């Protein structure tokens, strides 16, 4: 059974940093693009970033470029999102998704709240 379990969400002050993790199981992690998608409270879905199978390429939505970094460790079947210079508008549930675009499996999400 495919499982994606996010962790690391927290309350952080504006300008702060946070690292999200996603532990994958039930499939060969190194064979798949992986993505992060977020959803602000009461709002729609926003694609954030994705990363190629071997970690050699990654893409971002403009609003997080230069602040967020997606990475992966295929030896640990784990996906990460390093977030810096956090803003109030980054407040959202962050989902880990299998696939680079039309992801087929999603984690349950982890909540990031940016507030003073």
Per rule CB under 8 A, is residue 100 in the interface with another protein?
Answer: yes
Q: Which two tokens stand for residue 7?
A: 């962790």
Q: Which of residues 54-93 bind another protein (CB under 8 A)?
A: 59-62
Q: Which of 12, 29, 2 has the alpha carbon at shortest distance from 82?
A: 12
Contact partners, residue 42, CB within 8 Å, separation at least 6: none
Per rule CB under 8 A, is residue 42 in the interface with another protein?
Answer: no
Q: How many residues bind another protein (CB under 8 A)?
A: 21
Candidate ranges 16-24, 43-51, 68-76, 84-92; the one touching another protein (CB under 8 A) = 43-51
Segments of the chain assigned E as strands: 3-7, 11-12, 18-25, 34-39, 45-51, 58-60, 68-73, 78-83, 92-98, 105-106, 110-114
Closest approach of another protein to the CB of residue 60, in Å: 7
Per rule CB under 8 A, is residue 50 in the interface with another protein?
Answer: yes
Per rule CB under 8 A, is residue 107 in the interface with another protein?
Answer: yes
Contact partners, residue 85, CB within 8 Å, separation at least 6: 15, 17, 67
Per rule CB under 8 A, is residue 16 in the interface with another protein?
Answer: no
**Which residues sit at the interface with another protein, rule CB under 8 A?**
35, 37, 44-47, 50, 59-62, 95, 100-104, 106-109
């Amino acid at each position: 059974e495919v499982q994606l379990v996010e962790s690391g969400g927290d309350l952080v002050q504006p300008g702060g940093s946070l690292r999200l993790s996603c532990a994958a199981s039930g499939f060969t992690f190194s064979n798949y693009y992986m993505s992060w998608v977020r959803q602000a409270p009461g709002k729609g879905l926003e694609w954030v970033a994705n990363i190629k199978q071997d970690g050699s390429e990654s893409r971002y939505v403009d609003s997080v470029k230069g602040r967020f970094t997606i990475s992966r460790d295929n030896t640990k079947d784990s996906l990460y999102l390093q977030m810096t210079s956090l803003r109030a508008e980054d407040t959202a549930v962050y989902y880990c998704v299998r696939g680079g675009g039309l992801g087929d499996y999603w984690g349950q999400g982890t909540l990031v709240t940016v507030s003073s």
